[in-house]
Structure 1
């Protein structure tokens, strides 16, 4: 059968479900649901020029591409293209067709440098290199068996520290935005981000359907949020921490570890059986923390870069 590439039909539930299904099969350690995908599509910023693409064969979505501009960077001309193909439908040309359509779109939007995450497997890396992309930094996906594994015991808190949930900040989440924005500045990356739009953060992060404010833990020192571990869940048994960090003034006290341990214990008590997280391979302190919890690396992806023009 012939493979065609087209825009995702955002209002067609079957299309959104097909997109989410392929993403789940290709990245089973990344939390995504049709509802979360629909929410992301409805709240994407116009300046991102976001264009989700699907590859279709005989009426079945067999490939997806997330395509857009990195609008929240301090640099201009940056674009991203993340392509995933159904593991059982490879070698049909879907990936190449998606890359071609994505690059044409991004070039038309003025992008001059493209970034793509590629799973660290020989076939995937060779595919990226054939299309003119060069390897950059890498990151790990990690998994923790909450149902059968052990967790470090909860630790006693220093006298000036208390642990609260994200839900405790429901009436005014701005302090969590400020904490999130500060910690993001120190995340290892080959893209410089600037996180200043509170309203955008509310839409894209705080109100996201996968975010669990109840399982998000915030370490508060003398009334000020100092560290946090933000949690997402898929509505089933899978839980993930999408950001764990500490404000610069409070680092070196183990507060992020306290917050994450609390969140993990409460996730297990709530019936979640798997915990996922991700780490840049250069983020030694966070890798050490996650090993202490018992996380194991389940996959690695490599950031690839291509200069256009």
Structure 2
């Protein structure tokens, strides 16, 4: 049968696309509701356009495609492709990549970044399509149901650990902390969070984001460290970001916040915890190893110059 690539249609495609993404990359949280939300709330400058590939009316592949609008570098695009493992070898991946590159070139991208599983077949596919390997990142998993978390510790004097929901009246201090720590994240593409209104809409309001399970270390009323939590509303919990303001690093505050969040997630009935780390982020990898996380998969960032 012929593979057809087209734009994602919400909400009709959401369940099928979520199923493909869970099968292709089970270490990331995704729900139909989140897919619809992300399409409706994407920043206009991101030119976000998710794609699907159909064969005989069945969605067998999909891609997240857009511009890195929050990067200070112009012309940076991304295309993360997911093919259902049982439908590989039918040309869907190639068709989606070509459609994504054509769209991004028209949107002004000069480079396209993509994450590729660190497996021979996946890396060979990327290389055949002209992509060059870059930095590496790990997916990590923690068994919340059967594992043992480190005991909760009393915060040092002057520090309180509170849920992010305590900032519901004014989340701006959390935005400022998120922006400061995100700017220090290792990566191929720099990120600058400057649009508070969009952060409120896309991050604070995201259906996977849990304000109740996100833990924040507060000093003198100011948030100085945090561990942002997402959940699929069922059994899976994920850490979206953990960070500390520069002047408060080295005191173990992010570890305290993350431990608090993990304990509350387990108490709420979540059985699996996932997170991701750049392979060069040794301090955070050490923190996650202390919690009992184990690497369950590795990805390699690839890039291709268009034109």
TM-score bracket relative to the smaller structure: over 0.9
Match of 2:135 among 123, 134, 137: 137
Match of 1:216 among 191, 204, 214: 214
Distance 2:261 2:45 in 1: 35
Partner of 1:30: 28
Cα offset, 1:50, TM superposition: 1.3
Distance 1:200 1:234 in 2: 22
Distance 1:37 1:8 in 2: 10
Partner of 2:79: 81
Partner of 2:4: 4
Q: Does 1:97 align with 2:72?
A: no
Matches within 5 A, 1:101-180: 101-180=99-178
SS in 2 for 1:102: helix
Partner of 2:269: 271
Distance 1:289 1:272 in 2: 20
Q: Deviations over 1:251-303 (max 9, x none)?
A: 01000000000000011011110000000000000000000000000101110
Could you tell me which runs of 5 or more consecutive residues in structure 2 were left unpaired when the two chains were aligned.
none
Match of 1:202 among 197, 200, 212: 200
Partner of 2:282: 284
TM-score by length of 2: 0.99
Q: Deviations over 1:210-238 (max 9, x none)?
A: 11100010001122111000001101010
Matches within 5 A, 1:36-55: 36-55=34-53
TM-score by length of 1: 0.98
Distance 1:48 1:156 in 2: 43
Could you tell me which runs of 5 or more consecutive residues in structure 1 were left unpaired when the two chains were aligned.
none
Distance 1:4 1:201 in 2: 34
- Structure 1 ranges of 4+ moved more than 2 A: none
SS in 2 for 1:76: coil
Q: Does 1:58 align with 2:56?
A: yes
Distance 1:106 1:185 in 2: 25
Distance 2:302 2:252 in 1: 33
Distance 1:159 1:101 in 2: 56
